[in-house]
Amino acid sequence: MPRTRPLLAALALIAVTSACSSSDGSADRSSADTTTGAGSDTAATGPRYVALGDSYTAGPQLNPTDKASDTCLRSTKNYPHLLAEAIGAASFTDASCSGATTDNVLESVATVGGGKAVPAQIEAVDKDTQLVTVGIGGNDSSLFSSLSVACTQPGTACEDYLDDKVPGILRDTGKNIATVLEAVKERAPQARVVLVGYLGVTPADRGCDALGGDALDTAGVSAGEQSIDRTMAAAARTAGATYVSMNAASKGHDACAGDEAWTNGLSPALGDGAVLHPRAAGMAAVASAVEKVVAS
């Protein structure tokens, strides 16, 4: 079997897992996880905290999963939960949802497979919210999955996609992210708004069995990851939000790093996150990085 086949199959699985249909007004607000106080061992004197984001925030297939999150597949060990406990959040709502785009932060969406309709994530934010983290953008125009697919093709397909398609997608995505951040600031004028970047999955200088060997143009995918990191930084500046970049911090912790990896390759260990998504170690790294920024 050609080595591209398992990689393409994994990418197809990601696309199916993250698919959402058009907006639906019958959203159920219970799809966000809300708690009062962050943990029994920490005095709940910290900020009122709301987390928004996609699967890199939610943590699909990272045990344990909150059953109430339905198709959003939120882990109770994702970085928002870890951060809420670390800062002693007075209240905490995790509205993140696997497969979310920037549109899904601002509008309700009906899920595939008969799950509950998911409300607009921003509904969890109100005037009393004091801290909001946002991790969004990678699913707009199917950026991550389409880039990875292009970079498994022969010839110059990866380079062509990076040159011809990615710049336009990133222009639109950057505007969309800034719009989300501005909407959050409007709903919570006193809140600190933190945009959280994506962990780096792909090393620029080599392939590895965890990523399908030589089937993937890792340099091309890494370039795309760095491009969205820069786009997110610019969007945060535009909206007057704080940006926490995780791309450079991921060096030496990409999917090829074995036991030191923060993200999975194509064959994740059961319960330690989804294919090409954060492992428990990655979620802990993000929580630590954001905590340092929030505490400063």
Q: Which active-site residues does the annotation give?
A: 55, 277
To the nearest 5 percent, what fractions of the chain are helix, strand and coil?
Answer: 45, 10, 40
Whole-angstrom distance, CA of residue 284 vs CA of residue 227 = 24
Per the listing, tokens 């953008």 go with 137
Give the separation between CA 221 and CA 90, rounded to whole angstroms: 40
DSSP bridge pairs for 93: 34, 50
DSSP state of 196: E
Tell me how crowded residue 115 is: count the other CB atoms within 10 A of its CB.
Answer: 16
Residue 64 CB neighbours (<10 A): 9
**Cis previous bond, 203, omega within 30:** no
